[in-house]
Amino acid sequence: MAPHPTDYLVTQALIALDGLLPNDQSQIDLYVVGGYALQLASVRVNPAEATDVDYIGRALDPEVRELVNRIGLQFGLGRGWINNDLLLNGNESIADLEELVGPLAFNEVKIPELTHFRIWIADRVSLLRMKVQTLDTTLIAILGTEPLGGYGRLQDLPDIKSLITDLGYSEAEIRALVTEMASGGFLLAPEETLAATIAFLETEDHATAYQAAQVSSHG
């Protein structure tokens, strides 16, 4: 059985943070992607896993950020564990991210213990699109280098496998997704990305996935 949203360490930190906000605090909508979204989507199921809350939206007010840092240190999440630094360019809208990965959809996760925060998470297809695009970027960075150097761990592959398994995608559907993303200009190494994905689905071995991408790039 998947953990309840309140079982996760990050949710507990959010609840503690929420309790420190003043009663007149305006509602804060967090459109969440990344590790915490994967937890709330039951893709990652370790309640004790510490992860950032990467969200799309305007920057938090300084007073709220100060409390975020305080709670982060208390729960072992570090400073800035709630952040909108995903795009690293000051943009803050869903449309900005869609320019990189294509259409996204978000669903609300209702956590009654939260009074001031409202949590929306990217759905599994959206999370898969983002992970595939990140894998594509990673492969461009490491192809032609040693597989254990730099980005060589290809750390997004386990999440990609879990998402594909949860979605029940066939190999044909995976190919269709990669083809669609490539035709939209969202992938620069689609053949290599597909090869690495298929190899990891079959073997769960990062080195084998890297080798499959290398073979594809020299094909």
First to last CA, the chain: 44
Amino acid occupying residue 180: E
Confidence band of 148 (pLDDT split at 50, 70, 90): very low
Which token pair is 139? 């492969």
- Region 30-44: mean pLDDT is 95
In which band, very low, low, confident or very high, does the pLDDT at 93 lie, cut at 50, 70 and 90?
confident
pLDDT digits (tens, 9 = 90+) for 50-59: 999 999 988 8
DSSP state of 46: -
Residue of 195, 194, 177, 175 whose CA lies nearest to 102: 177
Q: CA-based angle 92:45:157, to the nearest 5?
A: 65
